[in-house]
Structure 1
Amino acid sequence: MASVTVSKEHLRKRIAVAAGREKADIVIKDGTIIDVFNGELLQGDVAIADGVFVGIGAYEGHTVIDAAGKYISPAFIDGHVHIESSMVVPAEFARVLLPHGVTTVITDPHEIANVAGARGIEFMLAASEGLPFDVHVMLPSCVPATSFENAGAVLTQADLDPFLSHPRVLGLAEVMDYPSVMNADEGMLDKLTATMAQNKQIDGHAAGLDVQAINVYRTAQIKTDHECVTVQEAKDRLQRGMYVMLRQGTAAKDLEALLPVVTERNSRRCLFVTDDKHLDELLREGSIDHHVRMVIERGLSAITAIQMASLNAAECFRLYDKGAIAPGFAADFLLLDDLEQVAIHQVFKNGRLVADRGRVVEDMLPPQSAEVAAKAEELTGSVRIQPLTKERFAIPVRNEKAHVIGIIPNKIVTEHLVIEVPTVQGEFVPSVERDLLKMAVIERHHLTGNVGLGIVKGLGLQKGAIASTVAHDSHNLIVAGTNDDDMLFAVKTIEGMQGGLVVVEDGKVLAALALPIAGLMSNQKAEVVCQGLDELEHALRTVGAPANFQLFLTLSFLALPVIPSLKLTDQGLFDVQQFTLLSGV
């Protein structure tokens, strides 16, 4: 539980205001209050003292907010997000999310930890300090995600111990190495028991796991899962006492499929998460506010949707001073012009206006400190690879059949196909007609020279190649293309940028976005990064990529060996169901 401390003087003042003996700092008048406890709407003045709600009733205040015609809603909480996936640093992330009513996030910095280890976690904590935006951290549990790949770091419990006492660290993040839990691996037990000893939370990552595996996870005190893709999976987890996180990100869009599991009887065990969402989508459609609008449009009551976006998430993570318009709760709230449309008029954090009509109040965000700038600089220069020639991309194929990664649009799970593929002199040749392309994962942390090779179906490129250093979770350099020359050129372009994303054709760069901080994040403003993403999208259309799913984010998950069914690491093709590397293709 995140501790809430208050001095005697502050408490004395709050009690006096609540009792009506003193004026409140702020009173919100004439608004309709969303009561997330009873699922009702109510009327009354809302009194705030020291950034905390202290009463609902009839109050006078030094400052009065006129909320006539508006709804007073608790601010929203994202229960599981990787800030690095937005490609901007925490302050810019806050600037993007605050206008969308999100004032609290639970983040897992395992992306940057996989590149830079403890230094990455230190950076994310330092860079999110002092913001008008609560960034709570769950410590990366699986760095690397498996032993079948090379990440930039290995984090043991000894590495995590110094962070457990940090006031914004809530526990252990998504435990994705199920075999280590099931087999009671010593290192995993160290992480689980150390977290339990601190009475902190443990998040799950139960992609494709059956009910017996969920029994194992719950026995290990793993409390949540954001990897459900079917109603039955969600119900299995709810039956065994888990919180179900309904995810709607950029690559994984599961909210609509999972919504039927939510009923009046179980909705309090459900909450919303984005997990991984690109900056352009955050700017244009929103964050958790987008979830709330989606489920209201599909028939869920607006109050239940807001409850899931606020109180449920707060209680899941034992943030007992968050998530409601009620005395004793932090005054993190929204004024809505329309309840059904979730039209956000203003956003308040601890009683202070932080966003007004879609824009952040700029002086709310402090300038970057010298300490944070220095920590960011330490994380540059992270792309270190052995010299490559295009011959390294040759894929021998026996009997003209090969294991092929089959993309499912808007999902991070893949199909494991075994099909005939085109060959010349015993080697695979890409075919745009059959949508069979070549891909490679190149180790970029330790100069090992590892190059994992595979074949992918469903990317849809008609020409050229794409490459990125965003490749979950080890974030090696991943490249896919229609020919070896462009693939090699894309790799060299990324190396020259020291991280980022690129689209190339015929030896020319069509678009590129540099991500110098660990190869994951930009040090530029959100609008600059968004423009770069737009240019990449335009370039993708130029090389014939489909527009019905986000290609770069989909590509990034093709390297994640804890999501079914077939993935590619720097050590080769990985069968997730069998949890083993395949020999050859």
Structure 2
Amino acid sequence: MSENLFPSWPDVAAQLIEVAAGRTPADTVIRGGQWVNVHTREVLPDHDIAIKCGRIAYVGTDASYCCGPETEVIEAKGRFMIPGLCDAHMHIESGMLTPAEFARAVIPHGTTTMFTDPHEIANVMGLEGVRLMHDEALMQPVNIYTQMPSCAPSASGLETTGFEITPDDVAEAMAWPGIIGLGEMMNFPGVANADPKMLAEIAAAQRANKTVGGHYASPNLGPDFAAYVAGGPADDHEGTSEADAIARTRQGMRAMMRLGSAWYDVESQITAVTEKGLDNRSFILCTDDCHSGTLVNDGHMNRVVRHAITCGCDPLAALQMATINTATHFGLERELGSLTPGRRADVILTSDLSELPIELVMARGQIVADSGSINVDCPHLDWPDHARGTIHLGHTLQARDFEIRAPDGANTVTANVIGVVENQAPTKALKAELPVVDGLAEGAGDVCQIALVERHRGTGGVTNAFVSGFGYTGNMAMASTVAHDSHHMIVVGTDRAQMALAANRLAEVGGGITIFRDGAELALVELPIAGLMSDQPAIEVAAKAQKIVEAMEACGCNLNNAYMQHSLLALVVIPEIRISDLSLVDVTQFKKIPVIEGFK
């Protein structure tokens, strides 16, 4: 049943009342479970749940009076009955999957609600891309709400995107049925400086009574942070420390603590609850970015809840952070997030609240997964042809396109270098003394080359710089058309000829990720939809993504989830230093900087 066909509470209120009063039989009764009540943080044994029209009509100690000859009875057998899990902030495109395939991947893990920000495709296809994601999301058997992207480009003047999102686009999208709010407001300097465009987008969302998502990626908790909060963002997921979490919640924001494929920010912030004793209702769990390998092998929001519990959080508090807290934040407390009358019957049966095995999943009153296997269709949108032809390089690239010419007479140069930090989104701004060979600055040691290749308009532009931290050895290159958020093409390599081979290969297949070494392709993930997503099942994409991981390791890289680090090196709103199609960018000062600062 699609979202736009799912009955609203007013449509079925009379039927829910009739079931609760015992005058009409329920469609389904879950019998003999332990009711996890996230409103009161209680576990109540020997309870039943009666369901009608996909919604909960009754929860109590005996629903036998709600049963009729046609009522389906599900025996909980003493297992815990918990609400379906909610992901408060995420990007479907980061899974390299369409909304349909992402839903198929996470439903067996107990995720029944997602709040998604498709700003990746917005940078490639503009408002049309957002609408396509929104429309496929509404077709799914679980709840996928869309946040209208706010920042494309993420930082005006520092990058060039395929399309630009405007306040008029935001105002138009606010009327779409699945739009829940404004996506993360990444241009935090713009908000703090009262940029008219940013404030117009926030105003459009607030006039529509929608939630404004935040993204304050700065350690500065002084006047800039105060100005950002005054600008209207209601939550933030960029915190990395206890102080960040406390500062946000004290100012009335929700602190969204993320555990993605490469971002491990729960452990460092949850002490605000577990040790400082802050009210956990101001805290929310999310994933932000999960690639297909994590989804297939490790889980989704169940993984985040388990991790929070491992970090010392009470299991019931952790569940609140992944259910009712999220629903309340988005104004949906009367619709989902708890197992109480009127809400959507999104129910998980599990035998252990700490380990959280997902044994049965129900969404909107329908069993959608059982014992880890999905048993419901996830319909696909018919994506238009032009969504599959978004890689435009302008010309076939050569090794010379990746040269970094040194000043005349230089024997060595002092270069600004992007320093990758394992398991964190921020980078370090480093400097390195690098050799000059035949007039070209060359990488040395752990420093190799990085390039951003323009791929939206076919300009032929290539920005070249240096990066360290991957540990690559030999003659290799890795290229990806997933390059948050502008989504040009990022190429990292130790050899310019391999960099050209990798870039041209992605143009040939319509986008994706590839690794070359010594002229041979070691691994490839095709991502033909906008150069960001595959429409293949998650298990197949995950298998190809694993080949990428293995190829990176074969080339000397042992970073955890290094691909995610690779894909974020162009995100010019997260400190300290990034690459764009225009130049290197110092994100602590939001200004362009040269690759070569000096020479000898």
Change (3 A) 1:175 1:365: same
1:513 to 525, 531, 534: 525
Change (3 A) 1:7 1:462: closer
Q: Which residue of 2 aligns with 1:79?
A: 88
1:34 to 24, 33, 36: 36
Q: Which residue of 2 aligns with 1:487?
A: 499
| Alignment partner of 1:277 is 2:277 | no
Secondary structure of 1:343's counterpart equals coil
Equivalent pair of 2:90/2:289 in contact (CA under 8 Å): yes
Q: Which residue of 1 aligns with 2:301?
A: 288
| Alignment partner of 1:177 is 2:187 | yes
Quote how far apart the aligned CAs of 1:69 are: 2.4
Q: Which residue of 1 aligns with 2:353?
A: 339
Secondary structure of 1:446's counterpart equals coil
Quote how far apart the aligned CAs of 1:419 are: 2.5
What letter corresponds to residue 463 of structure 2 in structure 1? G
Return the alpha-carbon distance in structure 1 between the equivalents of residues 544 and 383 of structure 2: 25
Q: Which residue of 2 aligns with 1:240?
A: 251
Q: Which residue of 1 aligns with 2:344?
A: 330
Spell out, residue by residue over 1:298-331, the C-alpha distance to the aligned partner (whole angstroms, 9 max, x if none): 2211111111111111111111211111112111
Spell out, residue by residue over 1:201-256, the C-alpha distance to the aligned partner (whole angstroms, 9 max, x if none): 10000011522223222212210000001111111111111101111112222122
| Alignment partner of 1:88 is 2:97 | yes
1:194 to 186, 204, 224: 204
| Alignment partner of 1:498 is 2:510 | yes
Spell out, residue by residue over 1:248-307, the C-alpha distance to the aligned partner (whole angstroms, 9 max, x if none): 112222122222122453211111111111101111111110011112122211111111
Spell out, residue by residue over 1:397-428, the C-alpha distance to the aligned partner (whole angstroms, 9 max, x if none): 46621111111111110000122123224532
Change (3 A) 1:527 1:435: same
2:403 to 394, 398, 402: 394
Secondary structure of 1:422's counterpart equals strand
| Alignment partner of 1:427 is 2:430 | no
1:354 to 346, 365, 368: 368
Q: Which residue of 2 aligns with 1:67?
A: 76
Return the alpha-carbon distance in structure 1 between the equivalents of residues 367 and 175 of structure 2: 31
Report the TM-score, using the length of structure 2 for normalisation: 0.93
Secondary structure of 1:216's counterpart equals helix
Equivalent pair of 1:23/1:59 in contact (CA under 8 Å): no
Aligned pair count reads 575
Equivalent pair of 1:86/1:276 in contact (CA under 8 Å): yes
Secondary structure of 2:138's counterpart equals coil
Quote how far apart the aligned CAs of 1:7 are: 7.2
What letter corresponds to residue 477 of structure 2 in structure 1? A
- Larger deviation: 314-323 or 417-426? 417-426
Change (3 A) 1:374 1:37: closer
Secondary structure of 1:454's counterpart equals strand
1:382 to 375, 378, 390: 390
Q: Which residue of 1 aligns with 2:418?
A: 405
- Larger deviation: 385-394 or 75-84? 385-394
What letter corresponds to residue 305 of structure 1 in structure 2? A
Return the alpha-carbon distance in structure 2 between the equivalents of residues 536 and 9 of structure 1: 49
Secondary structure of 2:566's counterpart equals helix
1:141 to 136, 150, 154: 150
Return the alpha-carbon distance in structure 2 between the equivalents of residues 297 and 248 of structure 1: 13
Quote how far apart the aligned CAs of 1:178 are: 1.5
| Alignment partner of 1:257 is 2:260 | no
2:16 to 11, 14, 17: 14
Spell out, residue by residue over 1:123-173, the C-alpha distance to the aligned partner (whole angstroms, 9 max, x if none): 101222221111101111001111211111011112233211112101110
2:57 to 49, 54, 58: 54
Q: Which residue of 1 aligns with 2:167?
A: 157
Secondary structure of 1:254's counterpart equals coil
What letter corresponds to residue 191 of structure 2 in structure 1? V
| Alignment partner of 1:226 is 2:237 | yes
What letter corresponds to residue 584 of structure 2 in structure 1? L
| Alignment partner of 1:440 is 2:451 | yes
Identity over aligned residues, as a percent? 36
Equivalent pair of 2:16/2:342 in contact (CA under 8 Å): no
Equivalent pair of 1:78/1:288 in contact (CA under 8 Å): yes
Change (3 A) 1:457 1:300: same
- Larger deviation: 121-130 or 132-141? 121-130
Return the alpha-carbon distance in structure 1 between the equivalents of residues 208 and 500 of structure 2: 48
Equivalent pair of 1:88/1:521 in contact (CA under 8 Å): yes
- Larger deviation: 334-343 or 255-264? 255-264
Q: Which residue of 1 aligns with 2:466?
A: 455
Return the alpha-carbon distance in structure 2 between the equivalents of residues 117 and 158 of structure 1: 12
What letter corresponds to residue 424 of structure 1 in structure 2? V
Stretches of structure 1 that go unaligned for 5 or more consecutive residues are none
What letter corresponds to residue 474 of structure 1 in structure 2? S
What letter corresponds to residue 164 of structure 2 in structure 1? V
